[in-house]
Chains A and B, each alone.
Chain A
Amino acid sequence: MNSSIFKNIIRFVGLVLIQVLILNNINFLGYINPYLYVLFLLLYPFNSNHSLFLVLAFLLGFSIDLFEDSGGIHAAACVVIAFVRPHLLRFSFGISYDHQNLRLSTTPFGARLTYIFLSILIHHFILFSLEMFSLNHIIIVLKKTLFSSIFSVLTIILSLAVFSKKYR
């Protein structure tokens, strides 16, 4: 239990630092950045206290916001995916989620991809809608959501593959 708490703290701090110091400066094609820090919410133990998870998601988004001067857009997006995560898990992994013995690294690739992609899509859509904060720019929001999502999902799958031994 203690090692799990410790691992999650390290992951939290590490992902925030990687995000703000490296990934936010990529600006591929002018505006596309991968948002790897969502990985923390995807990997967070599935059978843990949901209230604590919501608070942690808020804190995670909020620390990114502090660095990016973006108000509360990351916090809002993170809280929403933390809230809908149980539904996403049930949708992607079906019955095995209810047995609470699920580990992300042991799931079939298709189901894992669905879970990651849906979470990222929801997160990015909320993020960019709040960032633009205007219905006139809905096309830009959708464009950014799509391209950034692809980029984020790729980064997340790659980093899962690289660190797969560690997270078993």
Chain B
Amino acid sequence: MQQIFNFLIRNKNNILFLFLLALAIFFTIQTHSFHKSKFISSANGLTGGIYSWANDFDTYMHLDEYNKRLLEENKKLRNTLTNLSDTISVENHSDTSSFEGTYYFRTARVINNNYAKPNNYLTLNQGAANGIESEFGVITSKGVIGIVDRVNNKFSRVISILNSESRINAQLNKTNHFGSLVWNGKNPNLVQLIDVPRQAPVKEGDTIVTGGRSLIFPAGIPIGSIQDFTLDQSESYYQINVKLFNDMTNIGYVYVIENREKEEIRSLEAENEQ
């Protein structure tokens, strides 16, 4: 017994080192497995608070640009609205719950944004107290940003589209051929659309939009345009480089999308599986 204690005391630094290293590597592995990083995220009171404090200043410096973006978006929305009023017909609502649409939008501000690492996350200044939950979609007026993955009371963390774990269903705007949107970790302006069948009429410059097959994003939200494409090794699927409409290095304000019918669709799908 004495010898064991002596051994422990003599090697206490080595043991401490191994313990701390193991702990750090454990945390690292946990973030690499999707939806498991329980302990560490920037969506906590302390780091969120510091980020939001520092971001107030940054937002102030960019007010001009954010205003311009809002004007652009307003212009676009006004144009669609005027054209819509001619064709609109009176909708019949079966009950009050259908007054509100399927999707509900909330606004939030990005207080922390990474884009230079292989796995990037964003932090938003809204959390569970504002009704945000995990698996809500995040977009700007220009296109898709990512998916909320961790929420605390005041802040939430978003898996950026620039994350090797992120897979978003996307399709060609012209036809309904769809694939998955992934990122190879190299260029923050380029993401990759894979598994698009060879029959699809892919052309450079065509627009890629969200597919609507996932329960997170509504269909038809713009993502980017096709920069170039190649066939994969089996020569039956395209691998497409998509240039994002969003400048991921400068985001500012975002919309968080809630799908109100998610639970119903889920339960229906669960019934089907049984």
Question: Which residues of chain A have a CB within 8 Å of any CB of chain B?
Answer: 17, 20-21, 24, 27, 30-31, 33, 50-51, 54-55, 57-58, 61-62, 65-73, 75-76, 79-80, 82-83, 130-133
Contacts and interface: CB of A to CB of B under 8 A. Distances in A.
B24 A69 contact: no
Nearest to A22: B54
A66 B13 contact: no
A67 B31 contact: no
Interface in B47-66: 47, 50-51, 54
Given A54-B17, A82-B17, 7 more contacts: A58-B20, A58-B23, A67-B50, A69-B119, A72-B31, A73-B24, A79-B21
Contacts of A132: 118
Contact of A75 (B24, B51, B121): B24
Nearest to B123: A69
B117 A70 contact: yes
A156 B182 CA distance: 37
Contact of B32 (A55, A71, A76): A71
Contacts, number: 100
Interface stretch (B37-45, B101-109, B173-181, B254-262): B37-45
Given A17-B50, A79-B21, A131 B188 contact: no
A133 B44 contact: no
B20 A71 contact: no
Q: Mostly helix, strand, loop or mixed at chain A's interface?
A: helix
B95 to A, nearest CB: 43
A65 B26 CA distance: 13
Given A31-B116, A67-B47, A83-B17, A72 B37 contact: no
Nearest to B32: A133
A131 B185 CA distance: 12
B198 to A, nearest CB: 27
Contacts of A71: 27-32, 37, 40
B194 to A, nearest CB: 17
B116 A33 contact: yes
A133 B157 CA distance: 22
Contact of B25 (A55, A70, A76): A76
Contacts of B157: 69
A54 B16 contact: yes
Nearest to A77: B24
A51 B28 contact: no
Contact of A21 (B31, B54, B249): B54
Contacts of A54: 13, 16-17, 20
Most A C-beta atoms less than 10 A away, residue of B27, B42, B117, B118:
B117
B189 to A, nearest CB: 10
B114 interface: yes
B76 interface: no
25 contacts: A27-B115, A27-B116, A30-B188, A31-B116, A31-B117, A51-B16, A54-B13, A54-B20, A61-B24, A62-B24, A65-B27, A66-B40, A67-B47, A67-B51, A69-B31, A69-B41, A71-B32, A72-B23, A72-B27, A73-B24, A75-B23, A76-B24, A79-B20, A79-B21, A130-B28
Given A68-B114, A133-B28, A76 B21 contact: yes
